[in-house]
Amino acid sequence: MIRKNLSLIMLLTIKKALSSLLLLFTLSAFAETNNVSIVIHGGAGWFTGMAQEDIDGIKEALEESANKGYEIMLEGGTSLDAVEEAIVILEDNPLFNAGRGAVYTSEFKQELDASIMDGSDLNAGAAASVTNVKNPIRLARHIMDNTKHVMFSSKGAERVAKEAGLDIVYPSYFYSKEKLERARNQQKKSKMGTVGVVALDAYGNIAAGTSTGGMTNKKPGRIGDSPIIGAGTWAENDACGVSGTGHGEYFIRLGVAKEICALMKYQNLSVEQAAQTVIDRLGNMGADGGVIALDSNGTPAMIFNTPAMARAYKNSDDSTYVEIYTDK
Ligand code: ASP
């Protein structure tokens, strides 16, 4: 009797293992035939004089973030979920200028911005100048999904976050001695680390999101491109998805993210050509920055006019591309 029961248990375990394996293969094939792709940036800039430990930490976090987003889509999740969860990983990491690692304003406070966009219906959500929301990207998503509006700022945005039950933190959560010193020394160019993610899921939907602490020493109340739909973030299924990083004022004036998709849509440029064209124009205006983008086939572009841009890309079960400096 015991032996009979044991063989039955064994048989059931093998059956369960086989079906999990089958499910994994099916999902993996599903994702690969359907072009699941994710591209990530962790800020454009110099990345000079950094401790090797921090460089390694940035690369590890980018890989973790790409893997997380990729796995979500591999399991049938949406590109929006992939973008949100991949950004949360970077927001929770003090090495990036987003969420926990946000830079300081000229009055030594932190004001965070984020946005997210759904390329399937052009729905979007954004939050600007929030000071106590742990994950501004979650607030942007909540604003998109659950309100009639696209953008909230400051106290109003914080109230929406609180009412939604999102994690609210004391400003000390964002404290960083090193970043505070940078702001005190007025080092405007030193800090990179805005984060952004663009993803294409197995249903053909593109989503994009961006999160930042803004520029070091920005004036209180200043809002950059990151929460501005069309400037720092754009997603449109039949064209592309974009997230930008760099001198926000110029990204707003050029409408960088939407401009890239418009060049693809109306001038048939490839994602690489479109991104390069707009970053060249940005450079001609005297601004630094970069973008990540995906077209509707999952082809990526990672273009920047600075010496470096932390970036990652994943579109198969093979290893994840992760780089910071210009490709050799
Ligand atoms: N674009 C961001 C801003 O201007 C900063 C950055 O990407 O480094 O707020």
pLDDT at residue 182 in the model = 82
Position in ligand 1 atom list of the atom nearest CA 193: 8
Res 35: pLDDT: 84
Residue type for 316, please?
S
What is the pLDDT averaged over residues 35-58?
95
State the average pLDDT over residues 129-148. Answer: 98
Tell me which residue has its CA closest to atom 7 in ligand 1. Answer: 245
- For residue 98, the CA-to-ligand 1 centroid distance in Å is 10
CA of residue 187 to ligand 1 center, whole Å: 14
pLDDT of residue 6: 54
Per DSSP, 168 falls in state: B
Find the 120 Cα to ligand 1 centroid distance in Å: 26
pLDDT classification of 306: cutoffs 50, 70, 90: very high
Name which residue sits closest to atom 4 of ligand 1, judged by CA: 248
pLDDT of residue 202: 97
Q: Check residue 133 and give its pLDDT.
A: 98
Q: Write the CA distances from 319 to 21, 74, 85, 260, 298, integer angstroms.
A: 20, 15, 20, 28, 16
User: What pLDDT digit, counting tens, does each position of 181-238 carry?
Assistant: 888 887 655 557 999 999 999 999 999 999 999 999 999 999 999 999 999 999 999 9
pLDDT for position 12:
57
* Per-residue model confidence (pLDDT) at position 239: 98
Q: Which atom of ligand 1 is nearest to the CA of 214?
A: 9
Confidence check: pLDDT of 37 > 60: yes
**What is the tens place of the pLDDT at every residue in 156-168?**
999 999 999 999 9
Atom of ligand 1 nearest to the CA of 247: 4
Q: What is the pLDDT of residue 327?
A: 77
Sequence-ordered list of residues with C-beta below 8 angstroms from that of 308, at least 6 positions apart, any chain: 44, 45, 46, 47, 192, 324, 325, 326
- 85 pLDDT more than 60: yes
How many angstroms separate the CA atoms of 298 and 200, rounded? 6
Sheet with 112-118: strands ordered across: 151-153, 123-130, 112-118, 206-212, 195-200, 37-45, 308-314, 321-325
* H or E segment and range at residue 181: helix 177-184
What percent of the chain is modeled with pLDDT above 90?
82
CA distance 36 to 72: 10
Catalytic status, residue 194:
yes
Sorting pLDDT into bands at 50, 70 and 90, what band is 91?
A: very high
Pocket of ligand 1 (CB under 6 A): 43, 192, 194, 212, 214-215, 224-226, 245-246, 248
Q: What is the mean pLDDT of residues 261-287?
A: 98
- Do 9 and 164 touch, CB atoms closer than 8 A? no
> What is the distance, to the nearest Å, from the Cα of residue 293 to the centroid of all Cα atoms in its chain?
11
- CA trace torsion 63, 68, 74, 80 (10° rounding): -110
- Number of other residues whose CB lies within 10 A of the CB of residue 166: 17
Question: With 70 as the cut, is the pLDDT of residue 28 above it?
Answer: no
Q: Which pLDDT does position 192 carry in this prediction?
A: 79
3-state secondary structure string across 127-154: EEEECCECCHHHHHHHHHHHCCCCEEEH
User: Nearest to residue 61, comparing CAs of 34, 99, 24?
Assistant: 99
- Which residue's structure tokens are 């106290």? 155
Q: Residue 249 C-alpha to ligand 1 middle, in angstroms?
A: 9
Token pair for 268: 């048939």
Considering the segment(s) 35-325 as one domain, its CATH architecture is 4-Layer Sandwich (3.60)
- Residues of the chain with pLDDT > 70, as a percent, come to 88
Mutate to test the pocket of ligand 1, among 187, 223, 245, 311 (most ligand atoms within 8 A of CB): 245
Of 78, 105, 131, 194, which is the active-site residue? Answer: 194
Q: What mean pLDDT is reported for the chain?
A: 92
CA nearest neighbour of 233 among 219, 223, 220, 245: 245
- Average pLDDT of the segment spanning 131-160: 98
Asked if pLDDT for residue 9 goes beyond 70, the answer is: no
| pLDDT at residue number 188 | 54
Would you list the domain boundaries of the chain? Answer: 1-33, 35-325
Residue of 247, 256, 304, 309 to mutate, ligand 1, most atoms within 8 A of C-beta? 247
Calculate how far, in angstroms, residue 226's C-alpha sits from the geometric centre of ligand 1: 6
